[in-house]
């Protein structure tokens, strides 16, 4: 069995790392990090402003793929403006496309969470990735209702 698009995986991972390295817009780099794990034992990181509103984040998810493809781990990152971001809860649905000219992947996510006390955010996420080669769809990978918990972290760790 093969894995869809190893080159796109590296590109997506690089974009996630870059997104988390940049300071949050309008926050002046004063974001409050929350780190945790999903039920798949994958890392998740959320950045909130001083009022507790989530402004950006990144996570990975193991997806099941159709056809002869093995499970695929996708990397996802989202940024403000989110669909909903209040001190008590947030939600974002979005997508991005990665391409190397021959292969492309459309990464879609739906993540939501709510505050559980002052130091914890819990929620669920769903993702889908549609892979194309020369414009023709050849694989779809997805994961639904993956639970996560993230706790407020120290700035440097």
Per residue in 8-55, pLDDT tens? 454 454 444 444 444 444 444 569 999 999 999 999 999 999 999 999
**Which residue is it, tokens 């069995």?**
1
pLDDT in tens, 46-92: 999 999 999 999 999 999 999 889 999 999 999 999 999 999 999 99
Q: Which phi and psi (to 5°) does residue 11 adopt?
A: -65, -45
Contact of 60 with 129, CB cutoff 8 Å: no
Cα distances (angstroms) measured from residue 3 to each of 29, 44, 70, 71, 112? 37, 23, 6, 7, 28
pLDDT of residue 101: 87
What's this model's pTM, rounded to 2 decimal places?
0.79
Q: Which phi and psi (to 5°) does residue 33 adopt?
A: -80, 145
């Amino acid at each position: 069995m093969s894995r869809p698009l190893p080159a796109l995986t590296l590109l997506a991972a690089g974009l996630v790392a870059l997104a988390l390295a940049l300071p949050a817009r309008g926050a002046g780099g004063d974001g409050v990090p929350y780190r945790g794990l999903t039920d798949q034992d994958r890392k998740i990181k959320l950045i909130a402003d001083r009022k507790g509103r989530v402004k950006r984040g990144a996570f990975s998810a193991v997806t099941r793929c159709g056809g002869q493809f093995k499970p695929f781990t996708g990397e996802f990152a989202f940024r403000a403006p989110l669909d909903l971001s209040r001190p008590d809860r947030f939600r974002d649905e979005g997508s991005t496309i990665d391409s190397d000219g021959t292969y492309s992947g459309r990464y879609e996510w739906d993540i939501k969470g709510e505050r559980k006390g002052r130091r914890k955010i819990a929620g669920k996420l769903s993702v889908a990735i549609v892979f194309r080669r020369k414009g023709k769809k050849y694989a779809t990978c997805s994961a639904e209702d993956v639970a996560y918990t993230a706790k407020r972290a120290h700035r440097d760790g």
